[in-house]
Amino acid sequence: MTLPFEFAPLSTGLPWIGGDLQTLRNWLTRAEASVADWSGEAWQLTLADGDRLSGTLYERARTAARPLVVIVHGLTGSETGINSRSTARAMLAAGYPVLTLNMRGAGSTAPWCRSIYHAGRSEDLAEALSAIAAAGLAPRGTFWVGYSLGANILLNMMGDLGDDSRVIGAVSVSAPIDMLATSKTFLKRRNRIYHNWLLAEMKRGVRILAEPVPEALLSDVRTTVDYDEKVVAPIGGYRGAEDYYRRTSALGRLNAIRRPTLLIHAQDDPWIPAAPYLAYDWKSAPALAALLPCSGGHVGFHDRGRRKAGGAPWHDRAAIAFLGFLGY
C-alpha cells in the first residue's frame, strides 16, 4: 500500500542522534506519560487454558462513536510502561477510547499465570478480540498498536484473522519480524549492556509467576538464546530456539494480512535488523504500508516536532494519521 496520507519524515535533533540515544532517551530522561486526566476501569480476561490477561479500559463512553484502540506492550513490559502510556495518552487526547493490555505473565497478571507470553501467543490476542467484541466494547471496531515483540505477535494475529471486520487496522512499531536474525543481532558485543539488562528482566518475570520457573534452570541460562531454548521452547511446544524463531517470525505471514496495517521500523534500530524490512516486496501486499526512517532506534522516534504535538513521539502521530485515513 502506498501511504495515502502525507506525513512529515522523522527529523531527529540534538542530543538524540543515532540509534542508541534514540533507544535510551526515555530511560535517560525518566520520561513519563500520565493518563490521569481520563477515566479508566479494570479489564480482565481468563484465557482458555486458565491464565489471564488484564488491562485498563479508558473512556468507555466513547466506544459507541469511535474505534477502540488496543495497545500491546513489548517483552518484559506492561501496560504501565512508557510506550503503552505514551500511545494511550496520544490516542485519548485525539478522542479515541483505549484498552492497554497486560499480556500473560506481565503486570498484574503474573500471580495468576502459570505460563508466559512469547512470540507465538497470537491466539491470546485473538481471544482478547473475541472477548472485546462479545462484551460490546468496540461497536465501531478495534484498532491495534503493538510494540517490539508485542508487535510481532500482533502481526501474526493479523495474518491469522484475514479480512476480519472486527479489526479496522493496526500499527506495528519496531517488530522483530525475523526472529532468528534478531536473536543474532542482539548477541553482538555492541549490545552486551542491552542484552544483560533484558535477560535479567526476563528471568525476573518468570520468578514471580504462579508456578515459577525453577531457579536451577534459570542459573544455567546465560544468554537470551539460552532462555528461548530452555524456557520458552518447552513452554510453547517448540523443538528448540531455532524452531521457535522460525515458526513465530511475522515475516512469513505478512502476505496473509488483509486489514490495513502500518509497519514502522528504524533502520538504525540497534536491537532489530532492518534488512528484512528493506528486502520485503511491499508492493506484493496491498494491505500493508511501511515507514522506515533512517533513524529512530528501538521504539524511539524522538523528533523535533514532539513539543508542538503535546509530547507525542513521531510513531504515535503516524498511528493517529493512519487512523484518520481509515475514516476515524
Residues counted in the chain = 328
Residue type, 6: E
State how far the Cα of 310 lies from the Cα of 215, in Å rounded to an integer: 45
User: What residue spans define the domains of the chain?
Assistant: 19-177+256-325
Q: Would you call 302 a catalytic residue per the annotation? A: no
Domain with residues 19-177+256-325, CATH architecture: 3-Layer(aba) Sandwich (3.40)
Q: 225 vs 106, 132, 196, CA distance in Å? A: 20, 35, 12
State how far the Cα of 16 lies from the Cα of 295, in Å rounded to an integer: 10
Decide if 233 contacts 239 (C-beta within 8 A).
yes
Q: Would you call 269 a catalytic residue per the annotation? A: yes
Q: pLDDT value at position 164?
A: 94
Q: pLDDT value at position 290?
A: 94
Decide if 256 contacts 162 (C-beta within 8 A).
yes
Q: pLDDT value at position 169?
A: 97
269, 302, 303, 315: the active-site residue: 269
Cα-based torsion angle of the residue sequence 183, 189, 195, 197 in order, rounded to the nearest 10 degrees: -170
Q: pLDDT value at position 7?
A: 63
Give me the residue label for grid cell 513489548: 74
Strand, helix or coil at 41?
strand
State how far the Cα of 14 lies from the Cα of 147, in Å rounded to an integer: 25
Residue type, 266: A
State how far the Cα of 126 lies from the Cα of 232, in Å rounded to an integer: 20
Which DSSP string corresponds to 105-170? TSGGGGGG-SS---TT-HHHHHHHHHHHHHTTS-TT-EEEEEEHHHHHHHHHHHHHH-S-TTEEEE
Query: Could you read off the pLDDT of 265-308 as tens digits, one per residue?
Result: 999 999 999 999 999 999 999 999 999 999 999 999 998 766 65
Q: Would you call 298 a catalytic residue per the annotation? A: yes
148, 172, 249, 295: the active-site residue: 148
Q: How many CB atoms lie within 10 A of CB 306?
A: 17
265, 298, 302, 315: the active-site residue: 298
- What's the 3-state SS for 162-176? CCCCCEEEEEEECCC
Decide if 191 contacts 185 (C-beta within 8 A).
yes
Q: pLDDT value at position 190?
A: 96
State how far the Cα of 249 lies from the Cα of 181, in Å rounded to an integer: 10
Q: pLDDT value at position 13?
A: 72
Q: How many CB atoms lie within 10 A of CB 45?
A: 19
Q: Classify residue 131 as left (phi > 0), alpha (psi -120 to 50) or beta.
A: alpha
State how far the Cα of 224 lies from the Cα of 241, in Å rounded to an integer: 10
State how far the Cα of 306 lies from the Cα of 26, in Å rounded to an integer: 13
- 10-residue averages of pLDDT along the chain (328 residues): 62 82 90 92 96 96 89 96 96 97 95 94 98 96 98 98 95 98 97 97 95 93 97 96 98 96 96 97 94 94 71 91 91
